Chains A and B, each alone.
Chain A
């Protein structure tokens, strides 16, 4: 077939219409569909976010790494961080819209199931020769760890036992699960992802930092509607319930009821004489 001018221009027109049409269609569909967005989220959300909504493209890493990428112009639509300070810093620079808190967490100490160093409380981490793994201070979980140690005045003896500083919390988890180190600081939700491979030791409640996660829509996002829809999904009742099922704490902790009387069946009331 000879490529006459008419045929060539017809082909060009068809191609242009098809491409333009598909782009337009994607934009229309993508307007509120979360499948068109990219979510940059903290490593500790690796399992729960896809469980809430599997449609978006996810990139999981430490919150500070992701913030750095967004600052350098990475194409994210939503940013979810394991603390409130990183999104606040991005908001101050105009890179994201107003952040919103969406869940809370607690820190725990994990040891390999064999527990070679015999760690049973945070104070055991001060023993000489213990190999401790923490995330570096720029990572939220790393800074929370330093906060705990500072609040308990254990920073000096415990930090002397650090053998490695990881770039995200899941690396700490992996090293403890593999038995390479004696103990590590992770979120309680991370410990739940590897049941049987690690033993959890609680950090004293009086020294727990306030661990609040915040998320924000990226200002330069081309899919604002879809990004907002995703944020609403996480804040919805279903989203919050999913987070709770993975071990995350609700934003407002409900007070536990304490039983002041034994259960009905065995209850006996006797009037005593004064």
Chain B
């Protein structure tokens, strides 16, 4: 007779681990295939292809500028949204909306907002600001889709900062700016770094909004994802090279920022412990 009880005890963890292994394999297999489909020598030969180098330069440049803008403008916004006030939830929802919008919708939105015939089109033209199918347009598209990711994570990071520590700092005579820079930021740095990593990786991979709003021209606006799309029909080798490059790049970004964030977090946690023990 089969002992159902003992079978169930064995089966449940087995199924659990099988499901987990399946999920892991599903996520990892395409990445492994990308890196192993062609011999690495053939792929590295394509690295000198001007399509690849142009796309790399444009992607890095526009992502860096967009990231800087997101950090500079997003951090104050997240800090403000971390407080409690009327209408906060509405504002937070609005800010988070681009995360769930399909990139094509983001693209159309950018066109009707900042395009030549858009809401601000006339104003931009009058002020001499040119965001029509150039690198500035790429930066706008990348910032629009990646910014909310950073802001959302940053809000959570700022919310996690202990209000008492902020209060203690103010009591000890530090001004609001000094408190923010020397107390709040270091305490939130782990979350901020995680948000920044997410935003950077997302921005590097942006396709839909970029192709709609900024167009695609090699050497001007063709980022790495756009180049993959174009080269897919023309030369599969180049597309594979860029894809492999992408996997390595984003993995490095995510990993390094995560490690830096962890290091910062551990540092600030230890300094908090010493600070709180001293004050109490």
Contacts and interface: CB of A to CB of B under 8 A. Distances in A.
Do A's and B's CB atoms come within 8 Å in the complex?
yes
B111 A178 contact: yes
Contacts of A133: 133, 215
B233 A65 contact: yes
Interface stretch (B14-22, B75-83, B174-182, B216-224): B216-224
Contact of A164 (B111, B116, B217): B217
A116, A171, A179: residue with the most chain B Cβ atoms closer than 10 Å: A179
B233 A64 contact: yes
Nearest to A68: B233
B112 to A, nearest CB: 8
Nearest to B229: A167
Nearest to A66: B233
Interface string B190-223: 0000000000000000000001011111101100
A32 B127 CA distance: 62
Interface string A129-140: 001010010100
A163 B230 contact: no
Nearest to A181: B133
Interface residues of B, number: 23
With most chain A CB atoms within 10 A of its CB, the pick from B121, B229, B234 is B234
A236 B70 CA distance: 58
A181 B115 CA distance: 10
A187 B217 CA distance: 21
B232 interface: yes
Interface string A159-184: 00011111100010001001111000
B117 A164 contact: no
Given A112-B117, A178-B111, A179-B116, A163 B215 contact: yes
Contact of B133 (A67, A136, A138, A180): A180
A166 B215 contact: yes
Interface string B107-143: 0000110011100010000000000111000000000
A141 to B, nearest CB: 14
A116 B216 contact: no
Interface in B29-43: none
A164 B133 contact: yes
A163 B234 contact: no
A167 B133 contact: no
B224 to A, nearest CB: 16
A110 to B, nearest CB: 15
A136 B233 CA distance: 11
- Interface of chain A: mostly helix, strand, loop or mixed: mixed
Contacts of B218: 165
B134 to A, nearest CB: 7
Contacts of A171: 211
Interface residues of A, number: 23
B215 A175 contact: yes
Contacts of B116: 116, 179-180
A138 B233 contact: yes
Contacts, number: 58
A138 B233 CA distance: 8
B108 to A, nearest CB: 8
B115 A138 contact: no
Contacts of B211: 171
B132 A163 contact: yes
Nearest to A162: B217
A179 B133 contact: no
B217 A179 contact: no
Contacts of A163: 132-134, 215, 217, 220
Nearest to B214: A164
B215 A68 contact: no
Given A68-B233, A178-B111, A179-B115, A131 B132 contact: yes
Given A116-B116, A164-B215, A164-B216, A131 B233 contact: no
Nearest to A67: B233
A65 B214 CA distance: 21
A181 B132 CA distance: 8
A112 B111 CA distance: 14
B211 to A, nearest CB: 8
Contacts of B216: 164-167
Contacts of A165: 215-218, 230
B107 to A, nearest CB: 10
A98 to B, nearest CB: 24
A60 to B, nearest CB: 15
Nearest to B117: A179
A136 B232 contact: no
A112 B211 CA distance: 19
A116 B115 CA distance: 13
Nearest to A172: B215
11 contacts: A64-B233, A131-B133, A138-B234, A164-B217, A165-B215, A166-B216, A167-B230, A178-B112, A179-B116, A180-B115, A181-B215
Given A163-B133, A164-B217, A178-B115, 9 more contacts: A64-B233, A65-B233, A164-B221, A175-B215, A178-B112, A180-B115, A180-B116, A180-B132, A181-B133
Interface of B: 111-112, 115-117, 121, 132-134, 211, 213-218, 220-221, 229-230, 232-234
